[in-house]
Structure 1
Amino acid sequence: MTTSIAAHDGATVLTVSGEVDLATAPALDTAIEAILADKPAGLIIDLTAVSFLASAGMATLVAAHQRAGEATSIAVVADGPATSRQLKMTSLDQVFAVHSTLDAALAGFGPK
């Protein structure tokens, strides 16, 4: 699993690729924690390039949502059977704003 961070119009985008499982979820958690320490207004976690999302990865997303609290809005980009299906089956799409593209997620953080 690899991660990269970029700033886009007021939101921080964490792009994740590879497999997010019991072995790699702690690294994802560390990356998210480092971003949340800066208290961004918005965090978009882009899972488009994730080929496998295990329950440990989903637990990491939930923990990030809880740590962010009211300070940071979190959205997830997930499209495809490896990610969006699991988020829907576990009702996590009710916890986060889930978008099928990064552009859609960024639009969600745009001016209201």
Structure 2
Amino acid sequence: MSNQPGPANGDIQERRVGDISVVAVSGTVDMITAPKLEAAIGSAATGEPSAIVVDFTEVEFLASAGMGVLVATHGDLAPAVKLVVVADGPATSRPLKLVGIADVVDLYATLDDALAALQS
């Protein structure tokens, strides 16, 4: 396993789609990278978006620290800003469903699905 920076170490990109902030994450979300995710969501919230989409499409491993960030930031943002997650597959959506986070935060299979739901 390499220690080179890059996708394996939790790369995070932030962008706007209309009045929605999208925080796209790739690689691993664990106790080392979770603070970067928390900071990115906080940064995305400063522009007063109507919603923040955390896109885990490219995430290969989601640890409990990453899930904790979702719960904490959901609590900080609600009800002013809606937080939703894009996750599909055993590495992301399955753990989110197993620990009950999918009961708190809306979960979508694709970014297009999430954006369509938020813009309707």
Instruction: Tell me the TM-score normalised to structure 2 length.
Output: 0.89
Structure 2's unaligned 5+ residue stretches are 1-9
Q: 2:18 aligned with 1:9, yes or no?
A: yes
For residue 3 of structure 2, what is the aligned residue in structure 1? none
1:39 aligned residue (39, 48, 63): 48
Q: 2:79 aligned with 1:70, yes or no?
A: yes
Secondary structure, aligned partner of 1:18: strand
Structure 1's unaligned 5+ residue stretches are none
Taking only aligned residues, the RMSD between alpha carbons, in angstroms, comes to 0.9
For residue 103 of structure 2, what is the aligned residue in structure 1? 94
Q: 2:62 aligned with 1:53, yes or no?
A: yes
Secondary structure, aligned partner of 2:31: coil
Deviation at 1:34, TM superposition (A): 1.0
Quote the Cα distance in structure 2 between the aligned partners of 1:91 and 1:8.
Answer: 28
Asked whether the 8 Å contact 1:9–1:110 carries over to 2, the reply is: no
Secondary structure, aligned partner of 1:109: helix
Find runs of 4+ consecutive structure 1 residues off by over 4 angstroms.
none
Instruction: Tell me the TM-score normalised to structure 1 length.
Output: 0.95
Quote the Cα distance in structure 2 between the aligned partners of 1:38 and 1:59.
Answer: 23
Asked whether the 8 Å contact 1:87–1:93 carries over to 2, the reply is: yes
Specify the structure having the higher radius of gyration (Cα). 2
In the alignment, residue 44 of structure 1 is paired with which amino acid? V
Deviation at 1:37, TM superposition (A): 2.2
Percentage identity across paired residues of the two chains? 42
Q: More relative contact order in 1 or in 2 (CA 8 Å, sep 6+)?
A: 1
In the alignment, residue 77 of structure 2 is paired with which amino acid? A
